[in-house]
């Protein structure tokens, strides 16, 4: 039994793929390589007229493959559009020639747009440290809770049978070999000891780094958290991790508030964690104001994307977020 994941809740999954997913032998033998190549060409043809649009464009297909190929064929492109990477850098070459919204997609349907939520699953990476994997799990779980506000029409396979609600996390687990579940909220401190890393907080250099310290007892991260969340949380404002998680789990009748709280939380965690890693790896951190702006922009982008897709309760969320910024 296979699983077909829709790219967007508003787009029908082609019948062919449902049939293919039911027969794994057929699925394996299907000429995906040829299909994907055709898909990529169609996408390039479709998108090339939009290259000059300032607000960006969406492109699907095997873009990394295409990027590497085009860089090989037209070496001058590297000089025009590329950014030189550090000579010591041994990772894969990534040159931004197709815009920041360029995405890789598995090439399943040529008429669909990629839903961010599903894309989120594909983008999920395996990290070398369990700690990072656990953070990804937590982010997926938050995303999953957000999905409950979206009306799905298809039936999704869940661990307890077919349900009309899609669970990113369960689908992720069902489509892959399962691994031990790590509740990072409980293991953060232990992880630090296990790997014997420097346990002093990289952000404030003033306390032992633990999950509770980083989110958001730390004098650095609490400033960011307060700046972005005080107006949303008001009376229930707290820097205590467990209390925050409890707030996130609560169902809020005020959808716009709920959206802002959850997206804000997700973005703040991500950006703080990234800053923390930058410092740990000897890079210089962004100034505090730049970090706040970055988070604000991230949440705005996410909310306007949601609004453009017409999600329930998202119309006023962006407006609400902006009103808490002033």
Q: Which stretch binds Zn ion (CB under 5 A): 8-16, 31-39, 216-224, 254-262?
A: 216-224
Question: Cβ closer to Zn ion: 214 or 306?
Answer: 214
Q: Which span (3-11, 63-71, 174-182, 198-206) binds Zn ion, by CB under 5 A?
A: 198-206
> Scanning residues 22 to 51, which ones bind Zn ion (CB under 5 A)?
none
Minimal distance, residue 142 CB to Zn ion, in Å: 23
Distance in Å, CB of 292 to Zn ion, minimum: 17
Nearer to Zn ion, 156 or 220 (CB): 220
Alpha-helix runs per DSSP H in the chain = 15-22, 24-29, 32-47, 63-73, 76-81, 116-123, 130-147, 168-174, 184-195, 211-212, 219-233, 241-249, 255-280, 288-308, 317-323
CA end-to-end span of the chain: 52
**Min. distance of Cβ 271 from Zn ion in angstroms?**
15
CB of 213 to Zn ion, least distance (A): 6
Burial 113-123 (b: 16+ CB within 10 A, else e): ebbebbebbee
Choose which of 59, 201, 261, 272 interacts with Zn ion (CB under 5 A).
201
Q: How far apart are CA 182 and CA 211, in angstroms?
A: 14
- In the set 218, 232, 260, 318, which binds Zn ion (CB under 5 A)? 218
User: Out of 44, 119, 121, 204, which residue is the one contacting Zn ion (CB under 5 A)?
Assistant: 204
State the Cα–Cα distance between residues 44 and 51, nearest whole angstrom. Answer: 10
Which sign, positive or negative, has the C-alpha torsion 12, 142, 120, 312?
Answer: positive
Collapsing DSSP to helix, strand or coil, 200 comes out as: strand
Of residues 5, 104, 140, 203, which one binds Zn ion by CB under 5 A?
Answer: 203
Instruction: Decide: is 272 part of the binding site for Zn ion (CB under 5 A).
Output: no
In the complex, the residues that contact Zn ion under the rule CB under 5 A are 201, 203-204, 218
């Amino acid at each position: 039994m296979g699983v077909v994941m829709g790219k967007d809740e508003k787009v029908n999954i082609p019948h062919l793929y449902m049939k293919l997913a039911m027969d794994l032998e057929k699925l394996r033998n299907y000429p995906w390589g040829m299909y994907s190549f055709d898909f990529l060409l169609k996408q390039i043809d479709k998108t090339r007229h939009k290259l000059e649009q300032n607000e960006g464009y969406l492109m699907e297909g095997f873009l990394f493959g295409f990027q590497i190929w085009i860089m090989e064929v037209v070496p001058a492109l590297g000089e025009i559009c590329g950014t030189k990477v550090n000579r010591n850098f041994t990772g894969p070459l990534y040159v931004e020639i197709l815009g920041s919204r360029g995405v890789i997609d598995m090439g399943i349907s040529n008429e669909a747009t990629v839903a961010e939520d599903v894309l989120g699953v594909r983008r999920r990476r395996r990290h070398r440290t369990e700690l990072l994997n656990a953070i990804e799990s937590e982010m997926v779980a938050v995303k999953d809770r957000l999905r409950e506000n979206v009306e799905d029409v298809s039936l999704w396979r869940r661990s307890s049978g077919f349900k009309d609600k899609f669970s990113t996390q369960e689908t992720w687990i069902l489509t892959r070999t399962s691994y031990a579940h790590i509740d990072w909220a409980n293991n953060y401190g232990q992880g630090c000891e296990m790997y014997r890393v420097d346990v002093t907080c990289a952000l404030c250099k003033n306390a032992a780094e633990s999950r509770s310290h980083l989110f958001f007892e730390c004098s650095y991260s609490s400033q960011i958290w307060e700046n972005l969340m005080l107006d949303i949380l008001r009376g229930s404002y707290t820097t205590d991790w467990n209390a925050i998680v409890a707030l996130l789990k609560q169902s809020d009748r005020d959808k716009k508030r709920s959206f802002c709280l959850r997206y804000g939380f997700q973005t703040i965690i991500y950006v703080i964690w990234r800053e923390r890693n930058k410092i740990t790896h000897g890079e210089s951190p962004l100034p505090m104001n730049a970090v706040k702006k970055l988070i604000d922009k991230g949440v705005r982008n996410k909310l306007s994307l949601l609004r453009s897709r017409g999600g329930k309760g998202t119309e006023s969320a962006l407006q609400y977020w902006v009103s808490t910024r002033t």
